DNA sequence: AGTTGGACCTGACTGC
DNA sequence: TGCAGTCAGGTCCAAC
């Protein structure tokens, strides 16, 4: 159960929630809104009037952009776009009205069919923002995002241009929502492993073959995680809208596996800390520096002996 | 402008 | 037992 637990929603977790919400609440009307923690809601740039803007509207569709969930609420005049960012510990739950209150239920949307959509968030880093437009390009929160990693905009050309302009660590670029939308700390590490590139490498140092591997690894890792309904960790538990756990945590290659053997070569996984974030990689599969031809030959001859 | 580190926030955990 | 310190990380912001 999500009470007291926390979350790490990145794109696969958000997409899992989106698919469930699409089946569960699209078509329902929001008959009432209870805001228990005002800092969680926002209209435009103001923290007030949220209830007035959202109440009475029907949920027409639910989309996702990066990690954000986007509810389209049409109206007689202008549609409203409701954006829910789960932050790091946010959970959306669908409950029957009258079910016991959940801890940290900062915003509760009452639906006309007798259910409630509850937005829980222990660490209060999530947010629900309402915008009085249906045009995403008018919404700064959405307009700033980089291309969707599962879309056609993420091409080798885009990735090459992006990486060539950045001297910071590859991991930082992958996690930069304005560069590519939806990747966080867990999948950043997993993608780098899948591509066999060290996450601490300067982004502009990647070779073309490495960029090609990265381009393939990004959707491959994210799609696989979506298939397994996202990642729930023992102590940092993400759940879907019914309180169920994901399954991808059992398939993680490097994240959270410090000291455990690499699933490919058996070398202990290394963890380092950078910018208050942990970073995991296999030192053998993802060498920090590309080996020079001479060093490669030396190592190869040493391996023969 | 790009990069970096701190702050926000709370619960779980560790060590004294 | 209690308390201080640390860690987790999505996102924003200040500083270099």
Strand C nucleotides below 7 A of a protein CB?
A: 7-12
Which nucleotide C1' is nearest A188 CA?
A: C9
pLDDT value for A198: 96
Range A183-214 burial, b when 16+ CB lie within 10 A, else e: bbbbbbbbbbbbbbbbbbbebeebeeebbebb
pLDDT at A4: 31
Mean pLDDT of A85-96: 93
Distance separating alpha carbons of residues A135 and A13, to the nearest angstrom = 25
Nucleotide C6: nearest residue by CA–C1'? A276
Whole-number Å distance between alpha carbons of A16 and A38: 27
**C1' (C11) to CA (A96) span, angstroms:** 32
Measured in angstroms, what separates residue A58's CA from nucleotide C14's C1'?
41
User: Helix crossing, A208-227 with A11-25: angle to 10°?
Assistant: 40
Q: Kindly report whether the global pTM for this prediction surpasses the value 0.85.
A: yes
In this structure, the strands spanning A277-281 and A68-73 are unpaired
Residue A66 approaches strand C within 7 Å at CB: yes
Mean pLDDT (chain A, rounded): 90
Q: Which nucleotides of B are covered by protein (CB under 7 A)?
A: 2-13
A167 CB below 7 A from strand B atoms: yes
Mean pLDDT, residues A131-146: 93
Q: Tens of pLDDT along A157-195?
A: 999 999 999 999 999 999 999 999 999 999 999 999 999
Q: Is the pLDDT of residue A1 over 50?
A: no
**Which pLDDT score is estimated for A292?**
54
* pLDDT for position A234: 61
Confidence at residue A244, expressed as pLDDT on a 0 to 100 scale: 87
A38 catalytically annotated: no
Q: Which of the nucleotides lies closest to A68 (Cα–C1')?
A: C10
Residues 6+ apart with CB under 8 A from A87: A9, A121, A123, A124, A125, A126, A127
Please say whether the beta carbons of A188 and A222 come within 8 A: no
Which listed residue (A224, A263, A277, A284) is catalytic?
Answer: A277
Give the mean pLDDT of A124-131: 94
Residues A5-28 have pLDDT tens digits of: 334 689 999 999 999 999 999 999
pLDDT at A6: 38
CA distance A281 to A95: 40
C12 C1' to A8 CA distance, Å: 18
Q: Is the pLDDT of residue A295 over 70?
A: no
Beta bridge partners of residue A258, listed in sequence order? A269
- Local confidence band at A2 (pLDDT 50, 70, 90 cut-offs): very low
């Amino acid at each position: 159960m999500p009470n007291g637990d926390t979350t790490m929603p990145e794109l696969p977790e958000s997409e899992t929630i989106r698919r469930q919400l699409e089946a569960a609440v699209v078509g329902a009307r929001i008959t009432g809104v209870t805001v228990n923690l005002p800092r969680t809601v926002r209209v435009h740039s103001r923290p007030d009037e949220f209830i007035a803007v959202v109440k009475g509207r029907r949920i027409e569709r639910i989309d996702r952009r990066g990690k954000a969930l986007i509810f389209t609420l049409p109206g007689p005049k202008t549609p409203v776009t409701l954006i829910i960012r789960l932050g790091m510990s946010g959970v959306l739950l669908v409950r029957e009205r009258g079910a016991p209150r959940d801890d940290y239920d900062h915003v509760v949307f009452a639906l006309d069919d007798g259910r409630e959509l509850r937005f829980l968030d222990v660490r209060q880093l999530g947010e629900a923002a309402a915008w009085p437009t249906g045009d995403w390009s008018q919404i700064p929160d959405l307009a700033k995002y980089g291309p969707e990693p599962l879309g056609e905009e993420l091409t080798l050309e885009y990735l090459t241009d992006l990486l060539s302009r950045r001297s910071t660590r590859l991991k930082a670029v992958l996690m930069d929502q304005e560069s590519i939308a939806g990747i966080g700390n867990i999948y950043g590490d997993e993608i780098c492993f899948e591509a066999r590139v060290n996450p601490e490498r300067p982004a502009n140092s990647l070779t073309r073959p490495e960029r090609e591997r990265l381009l393939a690894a990004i959707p491959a890792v994210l799609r696989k995680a979506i298939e397994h309904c996202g990642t729930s960790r023992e102590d940092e538990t993400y759940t879907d809208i019914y309180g169920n756990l994901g399954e991808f945590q059992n398939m993680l290659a490097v994240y959270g596996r410090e000291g455990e053997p690499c699933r490919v070569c058996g070398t202990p996984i290394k963890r380092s800390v950078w910018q208050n974030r942990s970073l995991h990689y296999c030192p053998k599969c993802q060498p920090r520096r590309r080996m020079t031809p001479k060093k490669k030959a030396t190592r190869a001859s040493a391996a023969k002996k």
